[in-house]
Amino acid sequence: MRYFILTFILFLSSCLSFKGITIPQGVKTFYVEPPVISERNAPPEIGQIFMETLRLKIRQQSNLIFDDSDPHVIFSPVISRYSVNAVAPQDGDIVAFNRLDVSVTIDYENTLNEEDNFSKSFSAFQDFNATESLQALEEGLIEIIFDDITERAFNETFSDW
Beta strands 16-18; 65-66: pairing state: unpaired
> Could you say which DSSP state residue 35 is in?
P
State the pTM of this model. 0.83
- CB under 8 Å to 72, separation ≥6 — which residues? 26, 27, 28, 29, 30, 110, 111, 112
Residue 11, classed as helix, strand or coil, is helix
CA end-to-end span of the chain, whole Å? Answer: 32
Tens of pLDDT, residue by residue over 104-114, are: 999 999 999 99
Tens of pLDDT, residue by residue over 31-47, are: 999 999 998 889 999 99
Domains and CATH numbers, the chain: 2-158 (3.30.160.150)
> Could you say which DSSP state residue 159 is in?
-
Which percentage of the chain shows pLDDT scores above 90? 73
Q: What is the pLDDT of residue 132?
A: 93
Residue 49 in this model has a pLDDT that exceeds 60: yes
